[in-house]
A = this chain, B = another copy of it.
Amino acid sequence: MNKTDEKRQIIIEMAADHLLERGMQEATLRKLAKSVGVSDRMLMHYFSNKEELLQAILTVITARLVHLLESAKTEQMPFEKFLFYLASMMKAPQVRPFLRLSLELAAMSSQGESFYTAIAKQICDDFFRWMARTLKVDCEEQRIPLAALAFATTEGLMVLDALGSASIVEKALAGIELKN
């Protein structure tokens, strides 16, 4: 790897840290540059425009999420237990930033910002695949539908959590127990 690529990589990694920590409102050239410790002028030297830079950063972020999920080596769990596990994971400081960020991307995407749709979808697909793998089912036909349901429920809990409606999250978890 040549020096330019190395520098580029460092920029991407540090900017990814920053975005995960502070959210998309920090995704301006000047703010990202500051977080990396270079001038915004330099960002345009290493990347041809903001979109290309953001693409690279968000790609790294989804790669990190995949790695995080892979390395957890979580054993398979039945539906109900899995949902509780996901709910607790949601609060974990390693995972939470990813969920917050994907929520922001989903919102941006919902307003037709097609650039963000693709990357938000990527994150969700990765997360969904992991969920489908980690779910324990009685029969394989159930795997995808139940994983999708678990995914939707988790996303929903995340939205509630984002609103600070912790009490509704608790109630929903109680509801999950009732349904089993």
Contacts and interface: CB of A to CB of B under 8 A. Distances in A.
Given A159-B156, A171-B144, A103 B106 contact: yes
27 contacts: A22-B111, A79-B179, A103-B110, A104-B107, A106-B107, A109-B163, A120-B163, A121-B164, A121-B165, A144-B171, A145-B177, A146-B178, A147-B171, A148-B169, A148-B172, A148-B175, A149-B178, A149-B179, A151-B168, A152-B153, A152-B157, A152-B159, A152-B169, A152-B172, A155-B156, A156-B158, A179-B179
Contacts of A152: 153, 156-157, 159-160, 168-169, 172
Interface string A93-126: 0000000100110111111000001001100100
A96 to B, nearest CB: 10
Enumerate the 5 nearest inter-chain pairs by beta-carbon distance, A residue then B residue, closest first: A149-B175, A156-B156, A152-B156, A110-B162, A148-B171
Number of copies: 2
Contacts of A162: 106-107, 109-110
Contacts of A82: none
Contacts of A42: none
Given A110-B100, A151-B168, A178 B124 contact: no
A178 B78 CA distance: 14
A171 B160 CA distance: 22
B159 A171 contact: no
Q: Which of A100, A146, A177 neighbours the largest number of chain B CB atoms within 10 Å of its CB?
A: A146
